[in-house]
């Protein structure tokens, strides 16, 4: 079937009333979560993941995906009106969005960010439709050794590309891999790292860990902060939403530059929407004739990052669906949701479950169109929601977390897991450790182990199997290069020091 026939299959899947309803719920919740500072899409997906267990796999994935890219739309509202980003990727929008609001142009800024978000998403969706099947066909020739090497490369790249210390990122990956080993050995069937607790026999509950590390920990962190610095959002009239002709002209080129940047960085493990928005903003400051405008309400300063972060949100689905390798923690939860429904992401997904892949792809068009239509009329409601005090908002979130976790297995032990990992997650925040690499390690750990042991069994214990196959050797070589590359500047500086000292002595 050609791409048009596949898209027809996808739209036939998504345009049913029930699927449209779940798509609408997903994008609406996502936009609300994006508006509310400090919660994030990860916490929302964690809370709603148990609900999706009772849905069809395609409906579950469509709703969760809607939450993810819906949050990218909503983050600009709090960034522009309050100077407080709803999600990390919206932080860069504050630099020029809030000055525009102070100039009385908040409505126009919100309209432009909404349109830019839609444009970035559309570009990434086209890339998703064009390249994911090609990548999947190429990956069909992968064996256990190639998959193991690909997962190692993805984890290392995620830990080094993500913001923060690379060493800390690698440490979090290792911790995640160790936590992923908890449970039953896939070969011998014996318990390991369970410390005599039968509840750990099936491993750590992914939903409970995610809710603890991302949901409850974020609530604790936000409650520990003072809300006195929180801005006051003002009402935005509909007539203020109309941008000037000069604004529309200034939008086009930044959008054309930011869309491919966001899509490319969304595909890379560990990069994601946050890095994409910062890179797109940096590119605009480089190419601008007058850099002094940035930080004072430049149109490029809001359209470029919003285009990039939405393109990255869609682009992240390419490696997740085509290879079964999640690029970030949100994609790891998406992968976990599919596995819970008995669907294995990877090269076989498009062939075995075309209705899921093409239905999800079609839902991106439908969901982004819903967001484009809803975002502007609902601005007044989002402004009122922003006025809700944190002390009333967060207890409700904690209640939803507890109910959601308990509903998965009806096991009180999962609530204990949430409590433990909420404390761990809060300590990570204080230590400035990113929990995202750890979540990737937990999800990919069992898969890495399975592929490693299978490759070793097929090669009868010969470890050179990982170097004999070209793709496997290339991936491991790239992994080594990623690890060594940051050390090169430091080694070059050390090599220059003796030369400088020698020159200083000769001058004396």
- Give pLDDT tens digits for 63-121: 888 888 787 777 777 777 766 665 656 667 777 887 887 777 777 787 888 888 888 88
The per-residue pLDDT for 147 is: 78
458/475 same-domain check: no
Residues 410 and 338 in one domain: yes
pLDDT of residue 365: 83
Same domain, 371 and 231: yes
Same domain, 423 and 354: yes
- 278-286 LR contacts (CB < 8 Å, sep 24+): 278/92, 278/305, 279/308, 280/254, 280/304, 280/305, 280/307, 280/308, 281/92, 281/95, 281/305, 283/257, 283/258, 284/254, 284/257, 284/258
- Are 372 and 507 within one domain? no
Are residues 478 and 406 located together in one domain of the fold? no
pLDDT at 498: 63
Angle between helices 106-139 and 245-267 (to 10 degrees): 30
Q: Which position has the token pair 């890219």? A: 69
Residues 497 and 405 grouped into a single domain: no
Contact 69, 314 (CB under 8 A): yes
Same domain as 487, residue 451: no
Q: Work out how many domains the chain is built from and give that number.
A: 2
Start-end of H helices in 341-435: 347-352, 354-375, 379-386, 390-409, 412-430
pLDDT of the residue at 234:
53
- Mean of the pLDDT values across residues 412-435? 84
Contact yes or no for 267/124 (Cβ under 8 A): no
pLDDT for residue 385? 63
In percent, the amount of the chain with pLDDT more than 70 equals 80
d(CA 273, CA 279): 10
For the stretch 364-400, pLDDT in tens is 888 888 887 777 677 666 666 666 666 676 777 777 6
| pTM of the model as a whole | 0.68
Per-residue confidence band for 152, with pLDDT thresholds at 50, 70 and 90: confident
- Reported as a single tens digit per residue, the pLDDT across 254-296 is 888 888 888 887 776 655 676 677 778 878 877 777 777 777 7
For the stretch 191-228, pLDDT in tens is: 888 887 888 887 887 777 877 887 777 777 767 665 54
The total number of residues shown for the chain amounts to 508
- Confidence category of residue 229, pLDDT binned at 50, 70, 90: very low
Name beta bridge partners: 183. 192
Give the pair of three-digit tokens for residue 6: 């596949």
Are 11 and 362 contacting, i.e. CB atoms less than 8 angstroms apart?
Answer: yes
With beta carbons less than 8 A apart as the criterion, state whether 320 and 330 touch.
no
Per the model's pLDDT, the better-predicted residue between 317 and 329 turns out to be 317
Mean pLDDT over the full length of the chain: 76
Mean predicted confidence (pLDDT) in 428-442? 79
Place of tokens 């928005």: 277
Task: Assess whether pLDDT exceeds 70 at residue 238.
Answer: no
Structural domain span for residue 500: 469-508
Phi, psi dihedral angles at 484 (to 5 degrees): -85, -30
Domain boundary among the residues 462, 480, 495 is at 462
Name residues whose C-beta falls within 8 Å of residue 197's C-beta, 6 or more positions apart in sequence: 413
Report, in angstroms and rounded to the nearest whole number, the Rg of the chain calculated over CA atoms: 23
C-alpha distances (whole Å) from 479 to each of 335, 483, 486 are: 23, 6, 12
The span from the CA of 479 to the CA of 488, in Å, is 15
d(CA 272, CA 314): 10
Rounded Cα distance between 314 and 367, Å, is 12
* C-alpha torsion angle, residues 414, 420, 421, 427 (rounded to 10): 170
Q: Packing angle between helix 57-82 and helix 300-315, nearest 10 degrees?
A: 160
Q: Are residues 228 and 345 in the same domain?
A: yes
Strand partners, 191: 184
Q: Which of 111, 51, 6 is nearest to 356 (CA)?
A: 6
Across 21-25, 40-44, 153-157, 451-455, least confident range: 40-44
pLDDT given at position 88: 59
Residues 501, 434 share a domain: no
* Alpha helix (H) residue ranges in 187-299: 206-210, 217-223, 245-267, 272-287
Decide which of 446, 462, 478 is a domain's last residue. Answer: 462
**Range list of β-strands (E), 50-200:** 183-184, 191-192
Arithmetic mean of pLDDT, 30-36: 76
- Together in a domain, 229 and 327: yes
Residue range 331-369, pLDDT digits in tens: 777 777 777 777 777 777 777 788 888 888 888 888 888
Q: Are residues 447 and 494 in the same domain?
A: no
Most confidently predicted of 239-253, 259-273, 461-475:
461-475
């Amino acid at each position: 079937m050609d791409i048009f026939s596949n898209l027809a299959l996808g739209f036939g899947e998504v345009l049913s009333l029930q699927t449209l309803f779940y798509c609408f719920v997903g994008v609406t919740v996502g936009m609300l979560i994006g508006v509310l500072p400090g919660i994030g899409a990860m916490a929302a997906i964690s809370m709603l993941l148990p609900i999706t267990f009772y849905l069809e796999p395609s409906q579950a994935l469509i709703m969760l995906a809607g939450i993810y890219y819906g949050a990218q739309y909503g983050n600009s509202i709090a960034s522009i009106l309050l100077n407080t980003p709803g999600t990390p990727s919206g932080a860069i929008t504050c630099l020029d969005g809030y000055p525009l609001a102070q100039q009385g142009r908040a409505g126009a800024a919100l309209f432009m960010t909404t349109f830019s978000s839609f444009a970035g998403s559309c570009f990434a969706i086209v890339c998703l439709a064009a390249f994911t099947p090609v990548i999947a066909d190429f990956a069909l020739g992968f064996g256990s050794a190639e998959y193991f090497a690909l997962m190692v490369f993805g984890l290392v790249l995620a830990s080094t590309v993500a913001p923060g210390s690379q060493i800390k990122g690698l440490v979090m990956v290792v911790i995640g891999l160790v936590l992923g080993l908890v449970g039953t050995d896939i070969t011998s069937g014996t318990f390991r790292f369970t410390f005599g607790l039968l509840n750990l026999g099936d491993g750590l509950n992914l939903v409970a860990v995610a809710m603890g590390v991302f949901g409850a920990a974020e609530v604790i962190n936000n409650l520990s902060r003072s809300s006195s610095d929180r801005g006051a959002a003002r009402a935005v009239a509909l007539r203020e939403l109309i941008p000037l002709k000069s604004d529309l002209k200034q939008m086009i080129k930044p959008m054309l530059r930011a869309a491919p940047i966001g899509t490319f960085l969304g595909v890379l493990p560990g990069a994601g929407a946050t890095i994409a928005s910062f890179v797109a903003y940096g590119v605009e400051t480089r190419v601008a004739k007058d850099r002094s405008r940035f930080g004072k309400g430049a149109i490029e300063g809001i359209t470029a990052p919003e285009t990039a972060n939405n393109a990255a949100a869609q682009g992240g689905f390419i490696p997740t669906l085509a290879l079964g390798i999640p690029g970030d923690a949100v994609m790891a939860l998406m992968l976990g949701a599919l596995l819970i429904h008995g669907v294995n992401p990877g090269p076989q997904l498009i062939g075995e479950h075309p209705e899921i892949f093409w239905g999800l792809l079609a839902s991106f068009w439908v969901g982004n169109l819903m967001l484009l239509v809803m975002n502007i009329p609902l601005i007044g409601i989002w402004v009122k929601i922003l006025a809700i005090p944190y002390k009333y908002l967060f207890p409700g979130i904690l209640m939803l977390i507890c109910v959601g976790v308990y509903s998965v297995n009806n096991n009180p032990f999962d609530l204990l897991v949430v409590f433990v990992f909420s404390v761990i997650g809060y300590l990570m925040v204080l230590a400035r450790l990113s929990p995202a690499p750890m979540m990737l390690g937990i999800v990919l750990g069992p898969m890495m182990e399975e592929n490693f042991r299978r490759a070793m069994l097929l090669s009868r214990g010969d470890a050179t199997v990982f170097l004999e196959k070209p793709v496997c050797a290339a991936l491991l070589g790239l992994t080594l290069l990623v690890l060594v590359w940051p050390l090169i500047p430091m080694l070059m500086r050390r090599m220059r020091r003796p030369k400088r000292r020698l020159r200083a002595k000769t001058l004396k």
